[in-house]
Structures are given as C-alpha cells and as structure tokens.
Chain A
Amino acid sequence: DAKTTQPTSMDCAEGRAANLPCNHSTISGNEYVYWYRQIHSQGPQYIIHGLKNNETNEMASLIITEDRKSSTLILPHATLRDTAVYYCIVSSSGAGSYQLTFGKGTKLSVIP
C-alpha cells in the first residue's frame, strides 16, 4: 500500500472548518483513501473514504485532487469533541487489502 504523509499537528478554532491535508504521491489506481480518527483512550473510528471523486457524509468531506496524489479531510464546523489524532490511510481493493496501516497521523486540537 502507498505511503502517506501528514502534518504532525494542527490547531483549529472551535466553529471553524478544519482542513487536514494528506500526501499520497505514490498512490496507485486501485487504492482508496480512508480517514480514521482516534480520540484519546478510544479505538479508531472510521470517518470517510474515497477513490477519486469528492465525498461527503454526516461527519466530513473528502476532497481528492485530480491526480489523486493528495487529499484533504474537511470538518466543516469543528467542535471540541473533534480533538483527536486523524489518520489518512491508503489501501488497495481486492483480496489481501484488509490490513489498515496506520502512521502517526495528525493531532488536531480544537481550541475554544
């Protein structure tokens, strides 16, 4: 699976949009981009995933560049409860793609 690069940490003011970038320049055609987050002392939580089109759900939006070499997770109105470590993961489809390789992620701090 392709490697991802994320900033170590970010701050965001409460109520503002949080934009978390991820670089995955070696992504291949059958690889999806997944985002998970981990709130302190809890297990990781799935947020969203996408292949090449932008995606939106009740939690967040995912913007993937046309060349698919980078993406941005957007939390439209960050709250204090969104403070967590956010992981960008690239994983291929097909048999054997079950492992999720979590890196260090981005520690997002939402500030009152």
Chain B
Amino acid sequence: GAGVSQSPSNKVTEKGKDVELRCDPISGHTALYWYRQSLGQGLEFLIYFQGNSAPDKSGLPSDRFSAERTGGSVSTLTIQRTQQEDSAVYLCASSLRTGTVGYNEQFFGPGTRLTVL
C-alpha cells in the first residue's frame, strides 16, 4: 500500500498480559517513529529508528515497553505486563529523511487503539 499501516486496529487485553503492535512503514522510508496518544491529549513520543543506527528510546515510559525494527522496515512495539494506564492509541509514523535540512514530514498510520481492562 501507499501509506503507513498498523495492526491490529483495536486491541483489548487484560491487565498483566503482553501485547505486540505492528507497524509497516512506507517503502523506502528510513526513519520510523512510535507515539502514543491518550484520550484528549497530544501525542507523546516513544521511540525513533533511523536506518541501522541505535534507536532513540528516550521516550519509552518504562522498561515494560520495547520496540524493534527488523530489516530496516517493519517495527513491533511490545508492552509487557500491561497496565490500565497503558490504554491509548499507539501511532506509528515514517519519514523519508530526518533533520538534515529541517524538513520533517512524517506520515502517520491510523493507529492501534489499546484498551487494558
């Protein structure tokens, strides 16, 4: 497809369970980002991947959160031992280039709505 895709679109889980969220970026985009958006709030940066460089994990809220990007394309965000406060929409974005000339158009996926009961 032409855009960023994410799966699943909705995920309901029980407190304490692990979840995996998937992101397929736009082909050829070297940069990939994860954000989360709680109800009525702005976006919160979580993690950033750029090519083969070590990811910037500075936004991850706890060590229960981790992400990987295999082969420089698909990314998986994993939340272990989910808590109710993890309930949010998790958004993935990709961009063709980043920061070199101040141009930072990020293309967002539709998000995964996570509900932890």
Contact = CB atoms under 8 A, between A and B. Distances in A.
Interface in B21-61: 31, 33, 35, 41-43, 45, 48, 50, 56, 59
B50 A42 contact: no
Given A43-B4, A43-B91, A97-B98, A102 B43 contact: yes
Contact of B50 (A91, A92, A98, A101): A98
Contact of A51 (B102, B104, B108): B102
A98 B105 contact: no
A58 to B, nearest CB: 14
Contact of B98 (A45, A98, A102): A98
A46 B106 contact: yes
A99 B45 contact: yes
A67 B42 CA distance: 27
Query: SS class of chain B's interface: helix, strand, loop or mixed?
Result: loop
Interface string B81-116: 000000000010101001111111111111100000
A91 to B, nearest CB: 6
Interface residues of B, number: 29
A73 B26 CA distance: 27
A96 to B, nearest CB: 7
Size bin of chain A's contact surface? 20 to 34
A41 to B, nearest CB: 8
B42 A97 contact: no
A31 B91 CA distance: 24
Nearest to B101: A93
B99 A98 contact: yes
B105 A46 contact: yes
A43 B108 contact: yes
B50 A46 contact: no
Contacts of A42: 110-111
A50 to B, nearest CB: 10
Interface of A: 30-32, 34, 41-46, 49, 51, 87, 91-105
15 contacts: A31-B102, A43-B93, A44-B108, A46-B105, A49-B105, A93-B103, A94-B100, A94-B102, A95-B99, A97-B99, A98-B31, A98-B33, A98-B48, A100-B106, A103-B42
